[in-house]
């Protein structure tokens, strides 16, 4: 498409940039973020990487003269952009004043946050010359410092603002800035194909079988009620049939039943663009007299990076009208790994609500003698089933 | 913390973009500023085969006023609104919301369309644009449609977009004459995702009001006719007649079972109402006479 962004045979792209005033042409994969391009390709290691998901602010740089997160700016998104790193601010007057003030006020200790902090502080000084302590603190809230407690940093920034105010200097704003994300050039197309994948290494099997008998204190807990149009006895009876439950639970597959009270299988969940497939095992208990039960399980996602442990206590009670029932689920779970880092309990709760709604409909359909609604034409579960079978085989082979 | 490999395409026109979106097989994700998708890619929670960058399309980077309605292209950033680079027909309401989203470096790249299409319940625009009765403009190959933001967000990270469709613009009606706007969000740390959001648009003279309680578990709770929250009547004095119990009932019916969570939401709502229609200054009574 565009001449400036010819596709290279390796799935990399030619990336023209102006870095600290100098035109450079580097090669990068579209997925590489600007922080890695600057550090690894151009050896500009003054840009620090902390969290790499936009929270810590250590990688803050100037993109077309405006502060932006280098870790959230992919190479594919910023061809042609002008980049200024902390190295490029050596001779910048305001950064010079800030450096002197940071020294004077002991505004750094380990210095890891300082490059990003200086870029953010420079933006504040230029954009909000009337800033008071509160506004400076708000303005720096996107840059984490774990050494100073911010007191020295805030004093340093306020002193530079006060000096500039005393000299009668007003705000400096870019007036000709086009609408849209900084660094992203309008009207320029490009295309970079995916490099043919090298064989993906097999995911290591989870190490050891988690203990499902020990005590468990879930980090999150919620209650979910499913209304059903059949009497409690019929509902509770159906819940004894593990295969039926798995068939009614959207995204669930059952792969093995090594013992009467133990099942193995997987659950595929989707939260917006996130699709995670948890595989693991669960232990089931029932109390016929109380029409209640207990399921306790552990699972790990396909990449083996996120894991979850959970328990569901359920009881079946009469519904509001005769011959109807309510299934009350008390769900407790703990999620660890990247999914937990991103996810918030509310998102899981909303997902659980949707799954429970479908589960209820499917249970009703099954009780009415109808088969549960056919799954979507392209069945990801079939694929999942294959994966889980392989995993179970691996477990059995090891034991 | 590095994304899985993906192909990257950056169409230069809307028809080319919609063609690619319709034709591309496998998993495709649209990206604008990348401030929501970026973290998910870096954490490898999302591993698309193709990322379609929509920021090269000029039409998506425009803002205009059409018969009083503000039309914002999907790629207009929070900072564009904060800095007043787009027209304002809402009496500063949009500007106030925009300037408190995340952090300045995020606002410089994060877009209003991207935020809404991502549909995080805790995102500001999801609640604010619902309260402002805004519409989204959706395009697919050879077709366009509009719908209310309130109908567009269907769940946590779920929208009414169909395969092959994308959000191209937002249509924000002008703030009605005499309307009072209140917007309060509660964050434990500045810039983080909100734990509670309240957006209110009250028209004391017309006796109308629209209230949104956001950052709940699913789509924001919209009270399109807010009169019951004030005992059936909205007037200049309505902040003093705000009924906490009605707000609790509405939230309970919306599925918020935890009384502590409800309390936070109701408190934030009371603050937004007080911001929109301030109570007369309370008489100062000395503590010890």
How far are the Cα atoms of B172, B177, B180 from residue B70, in angstroms, in the given order? 5, 16, 18
Return d(Cα B155, Cα A350) in angstroms, integer.
7
Segment holding A376, helix H or strand E: none
- Average pLDDT for residues A232-260, to the nearest whole number? 87
Instruction: List the domain boundaries for chain B.
Output: 7-53, 58-172, 180-276
Least confident of A195-199, A384-388, B201-205: A384-388
pLDDT higher than threshold 80 for residue A201:
no
Give the minimum alpha-carbon distance from B107 to chain A in angstroms, rounded to a whole number: 8
* Banded model confidence at residue A396, pLDDT cuts 50, 70, 90: very low
pLDDT higher than threshold 80 for residue A242:
yes
Residues 108-167 of B with CB under 8 A from A: 108-111, 118-119, 121-122, 155-158
pLDDT score, position A384: 45
- Domain-ending residue, one of A166, A187, A207: A166
- Same domain, yes or no, for A160 and A275? no
- Same domain, yes or no, for A64 and A133? yes
Beta bridge partners of B138: B145, B167
Q: Which residues of A touch B257 (CB under 8 A)?
A: 222-223
Whether A180 is covered by a domain: the verdict is no
pLDDT score, position A357: 82
% pLDDT > 70, chain A: 84
Give the minimum alpha-carbon distance from A371 to chain B in angstroms, rounded to a whole number: 27
- Does the beta carbon of B77 lie under 8 angstroms from any beta carbon of chain A? yes
Beta bridge partners of A296: A283, A311
Residue B37 to residue A273, Cβ atoms within 8 A: yes
Give the minimum alpha-carbon distance from A272 to chain B in angstroms, rounded to a whole number: 5
* CATH code of residue A16: 3.10.20.30
pLDDT score, position A342: 67
Q: Which residues of B touch A157 (CB under 8 A)?
A: none
More confident residue, B125 or A358: B125
* Banded model confidence at residue A332, pLDDT cuts 50, 70, 90: confident
Q: Which residues of chain B have pLDDT under 70?
A: 281-289
pLDDT score, position A339: 75
* Banded model confidence at residue A322, pLDDT cuts 50, 70, 90: very high
List the single residue in A69, A193, A349 with the smallest CB-CB distance to B105.
A69
- Average pLDDT for residues A130-142, to the nearest whole number? 96
pLDDT higher than threshold 70 for residue A392:
no
* Multiple choice CATH, B58-172, 3.30.465.10, 3.90.79.10, 3.40.1160.10, 3.40.50.300: 3.30.465.10
ipTM of the predicted assembly exceeds 0.85:
yes
Residue B42 to residue A120, Cβ atoms within 8 A: no
pLDDT higher than threshold 70 for residue A208:
no
pLDDT score, position B44: 87
Residues 35-74 of B with CB under 8 A from A: 35, 37-46, 48-51, 53, 55-58, 60-63, 73
- Same domain, yes or no, for A245 and A159? no
- What topology does CATH give the domain B7-53? 3.30.43
* Multiple choice CATH, B180-276, 3.40.1390.20, 3.30.390.50, 3.40.190.10, 3.30.565.10: 3.30.390.50
Sequence-distant (6+) residues with CB within 8 A of A264 are A254, A255, A256, A257, A258, A280, A281, A282, A388, A392
Taking the whole predicted model, whether its pTM rises above 0.80 is answered as yes
Give the minimum alpha-carbon distance from A258 to chain B in angstroms, rounded to a whole number: 31
* Banded model confidence at residue A202, pLDDT cuts 50, 70, 90: very low
Domain that holds residue A152: 3-166
Whether A215 is covered by a domain: the verdict is no
pLDDT higher than threshold 50 for residue A345:
yes
* Banded model confidence at residue A133, pLDDT cuts 50, 70, 90: very high
pLDDT score, position A395: 43
Cβ atoms of B181 and B90 within 8 Å: the answer is yes
Residue B37 to residue A185, Cβ atoms within 8 A: no
Q: Which residue of chain A is at minimal alpha-carbon distance from B74?
A: A180
Residue A349 to residue B217, Cβ atoms within 8 A: yes
Instruction: Evaluate the CA torsion angle B232, B237, B239, B240 in order and state its sign.
Output: negative
Whether A144 is covered by a domain: the verdict is yes
Mutate to test the interface with A, among B30, B109, B159, B166 (most CBs of A within 10 A): B109
- Average pLDDT for residues A159-185, to the nearest whole number? 92
Return d(Cα B231, Cα B288) in angstroms, integer.
35
Whether A185 is covered by a domain: the verdict is no
Residue B121 to residue A347, Cβ atoms within 8 A: yes
Return d(Cα B282, Cα A304) in angstroms, integer.
59
- Average pLDDT for residues A76-102, to the nearest whole number? 96
Residue B2 to residue A31, Cβ atoms within 8 A: yes
pLDDT score, position A70: 98
Least confident of A3-17, A47-61, A240-254, B22-36: A3-17
Give the minimum alpha-carbon distance from A271 to chain B in angstroms, rounded to a whole number: 7
Return d(Cα A298, Cα A294) in angstroms, integer.
14
Residue A113 burial class via C-beta count within 10 angstroms: exposed 0-12, middle 13-18, buried 19 and up? buried
List the single residue in B12, B32, B83 with the smallest CB-CB distance to A181.
B32
């Amino acid at each position: 498409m565009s001449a400036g962004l010819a596709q290279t045979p390796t799935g990399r792209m030619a990336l023209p940039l102006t870095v600290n005033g100098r035109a450079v042409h580097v090669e990068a994969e579209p997925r590489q973020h600007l922080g890695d391009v600057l550090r690894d390709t151009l050896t500009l290691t003054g840009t620090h990487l902390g969290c790499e998901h936009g929270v810590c602010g250590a990688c803050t740089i100037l993109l077309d003269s405006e502060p932006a997160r280098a870790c959230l700016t992919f190479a594919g998104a910023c061809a042609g952009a002008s980049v200024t790193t902390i190295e490029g601010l050596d001779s910048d007057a305001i950064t010079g004043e800030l450096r002197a003030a940071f020294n004077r006020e002991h505004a750094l200790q380990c210095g890891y946050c300082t490059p990003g902090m200086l870029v953010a502080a420079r933006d504040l000084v230029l954009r909000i010359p009337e800033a008071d302590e509160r506004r400076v603190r708000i303005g720096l809230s996107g840059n984490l410092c774990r050494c100073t407690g911010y007191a020295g940093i805030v004093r340093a920034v306020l002193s530079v603002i006060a000096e500039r105010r005393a000299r009668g200097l007003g705000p400096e704003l870019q007036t000709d800035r086009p609408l849209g994300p900084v660094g992203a050039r309008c009207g320029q197309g490009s295309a970079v194909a995916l490099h043919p994948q090298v064989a993906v290494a097999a995911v290591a099997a989870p190490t050891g079988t988690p203990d499902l008998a020990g005590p468990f204190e879930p980090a999150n807990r919620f209650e979910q009620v499913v209304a059903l149009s059949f009497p409690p006895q019929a509902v509770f009876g159906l819940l004894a049939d593990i295969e039926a439950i798995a068939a009614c639970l959207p995204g669930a597959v059952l792969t093995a039943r090594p013992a009467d009270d133990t099942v193995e299988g997987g659950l595929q969940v989707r939260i917006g663009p996130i699709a995670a497939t948890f595989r693991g095992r669960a232990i089931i208990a029932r109390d016929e007299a109380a029409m209640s039960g207990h399921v306790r399980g552990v699972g790990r996602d396909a990449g083996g990076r996120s894991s979850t442990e959970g328990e569901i206590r359920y009881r079946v009670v009469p519904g509001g009208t005769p011959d109807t029932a309510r299934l009350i689920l008390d769900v407790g779970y703990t999620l660890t790994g990247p999914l937990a880092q991103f996810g918030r309990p509310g998102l899981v709760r909303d997902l659980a609500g949707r799954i429970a709604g479908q589960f209820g409909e499917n249970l009703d359909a099954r009780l009415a003698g109808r088969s549960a609604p056919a799954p979507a034409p392209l069945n990801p579960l079939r694929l999942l089933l294959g994966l889980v079978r392989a995993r179970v085989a691996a477990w059995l082979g090891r034991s | 913390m590095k994304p899985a490999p993906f192909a990257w395409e950056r169409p230069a026109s809307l028809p080319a973009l919609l063609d690619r979106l319709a034709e591309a097989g496998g998993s495709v994700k649209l990206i604008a500023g990348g401030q929501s998708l970026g973290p998910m890619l870096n954490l490898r929670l999302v591993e698309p085969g193709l990322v379609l960058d929509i920021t090269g399309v000029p039409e998506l980077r425009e803002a205009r006023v059409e018969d009083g309605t503000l039309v914002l292209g999907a790629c207009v950033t929070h900072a564009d609104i904060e800095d007043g680079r787009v027209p304002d027909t809402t009496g500063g309401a949009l500007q106030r919301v925009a300037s408190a989203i995340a952090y300045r470096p995020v606002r410089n790249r994060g877009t209003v369309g991207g935020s809404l299409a991502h549909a995080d319940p805790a995102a500001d625009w999801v609640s604010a644009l619902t309260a402002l009765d805004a519409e989204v403009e959706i395009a697919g190959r050879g077709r366009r449609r509009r719908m209310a933001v309130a109908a567009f967000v269907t769940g946590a990270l779920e929208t009414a977009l169909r395969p092959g469709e994308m959000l191209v613009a937002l249509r924000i009606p002008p703030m009605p004459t005499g309307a009072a706007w209140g917007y309060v969000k509660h964050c434990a740390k500045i810039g983080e995702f909100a734990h509670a959001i309240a957006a209110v648009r009250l028209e004391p003279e017309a006796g109308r009001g629209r209230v949104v309680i956001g950052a709940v578990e699913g789509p924001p709770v919209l009270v399109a006719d807010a009169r019951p929250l004030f005992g059936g009547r909205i007037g200049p004095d309505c902040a003093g007649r705000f009924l906490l119990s009605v707000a609790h009932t509405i939230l309970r019916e919306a599925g918020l079972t935890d009384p502590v969570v409800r309390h936070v939401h109701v408190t934030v709502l009371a603050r937004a109402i007080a911001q929109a229609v301030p109570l007369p200054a309370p008489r100062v009574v000395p503590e010890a006479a």
